[in-house]
Amino acid sequence: MNWTWFHRLASPPHVYALAARLTRWFAWPAALCIAAGLWGGLVLAPPDYLQGDGFRILYVHAPSAWMSLMVYVTMAGAAAIGLIWRMKVAHAVAASCAPIGASFTVAALVTGALWGQPMWGTYWEWDPRLTSELVLLFLYLGYMGLRAGIEDPQRADRASAMLAVVGVVNVPIIHYSVTWWNSLHQAPSVMRLAKPAMPLGMLVPLLLMLLGFTLFFIALLLTRLRGEVLARERTASWIREVVRA
Partner 1 sequence: MPEHTIEVDNLHLWRGDRHVLRGVSFTVVRGGCLEVCGANGAGKTTLLRALCGLVYPEQGRILWNGEDVRHDLPAFHAALAYLGHEPPLKADLTARENLHYWIGVRRHLERSELDAALARVGARSWCEQLARTLSAGQRRRVALAGLTLLAVPLWLLDEPTTNLDGEGRALVAELVREQLARGGIVVAAVHQGLPSSVPNVTRLDLAA
Partner 2 sequence: MNRSDGNIAQPLAALAPADPEMRTAACHRASALEAIRLALLRDLQLALRKRGQLVQPLAFFAMVTLLFPLAISPELARLRELAPGVVWVGALLGSLLALEFLFRDDAHDGTLEQYALSGQSLTALMTAKTIAHWLLTGLPLALMAPLAAVSLGVRTGALPGILLAVAVGSVALSLIGSIGAALTLGIKRSGALLSLLTLPLSLPVLIFGARATQLAIHGASFVAPLELLGALAVLGGTLAPLAAAAAVRISLE
Q: Which of 153, 204, 223, 242 binds partner 1 (CB under 8 A)?
A: 153
**Stretch in the footprint of partner 1 (CB under 8 A) among 72-80, 101-109, 152-160, 173-181:** 152-160
> Which 65-124 residues touch partner 1, going by CB under 8 A?
86
Nearer to partner 2, 39 or 181 (CB): 181
82 touches partner 2 (CB under 8 A): no
Q: Does 235 bind partner 1 (CB under 8 A)?
A: yes
Residue 235, phi then psi, degrees to nearest 5: -95, -5
Which of 9, 170, 187, 191 is the binder for partner 2 (CB under 8 A)? Answer: 170
Instruction: Confirm or reject binding of residue 152 to partner 1 (CB under 8 A).
Output: yes
**Closest CB to partner 2 among residues 29, 99:** 99
C-beta neighbour count of 12 within 10 angstroms: 18
Please report, as residue ranges, which positions from 106 to 165 form the binding site for partner 2 (by CB under 8 A).
Answer: 135, 138-139, 141-142, 145-146, 149-150, 152, 154-155, 158-159, 162-163, 165
Applying CB under 8 A, the span of 41-49, 76-84, 146-154, 216-224 interacting with partner 1 comes to 146-154
Return the one option of partner 2, partner 1, none that residue 235 interacts with (CB less than 5 to 8 A, by type). Answer: partner 1
Binds partner 2 (CB under 8 A): choice among 180, 194, 234, 237: 180
HEC sequence for the chain? CCCHHHHHHCCHHHHHHHHHHHHHHHHHHHHHHHHHHHHHHHHHCCCECCCEHHHHHHHHHHHHHHHHHHHHHHHHHHHHHHHHHCCHHHHHHHHHHHHHHHHHHHHHHHHHHHHHHHHHCCCCCCCHHHHHHHHHHHHHHHHHHHHHHCCCHHHHHHHHHHHHHHHHHHHHHHHHHHHHHCCCCCCCHHHHHHCCCCCHHHHHHHHHHHHHHHHHHHHHHHHHHHHHHHHHCCCCHHHHHHHHC
Closest approach of partner 2 to the CB of residue 211, in Å: 30
Q: How many CB atoms are located within 10 Å of the residue 245 CB?
A: 5
Binding site for partner 1 (CB under 8 A): 86, 152-154, 234-235
Binding site for partner 2 (CB under 8 A): 83, 135, 138-139, 141-142, 145-146, 149-150, 152, 154-155, 158-159, 162-163, 165-167, 169-170, 173-174, 176-178, 180-181
